[in-house]
Amino acid sequence: MRLAQTATFPASALKSGMDLIETVIALAACVVLLIVAILLDRRPYQPGKLNYIPLMIIALAVCLVLGRHLVDFNSLTDT
């Protein structure tokens, strides 16, 4: 009877979460998306114009989560 072989993974494959650079890039992209949605929403009303409010709510929520992640990341690396 042969035992199942365990897979070996490199240390980088076991690492979970986002690094600082990835978080900053995602936060910057989210802020740009939020600004674009605000600018597009401020245009005069035309029939059939898309509603950007849900996009702004989601982008703002993601910005808050990523900002919190940056605060946690910095507090963990200082120790």
**Does residue 45 carry a pLDDT above 70?**
yes
Q: Where are the alpha helices (DSSP H) in 1-79?
A: 11-14, 20-41, 53-77
Enter the DSSP assignment of 19.
Answer: -
Q: Name the token pair of 77.
A: 């690396």
54 in Cβ contact with 40 (< 8 Å) = no
Mean pLDDT of the chain: 80
pLDDT range class, residue 6, cuts 50, 70, 90 = low
As a whole-number percent, the residues of the chain with pLDDT over 70 amount to: 68
Q: Is 11 helix (H, G, I), strand (E, B) or coil?
A: helix
Residues 19 and 48: beta-carbon distance below 8 Å: no
Given a cut of 90, whether residue 32 has pLDDT beyond it is yes
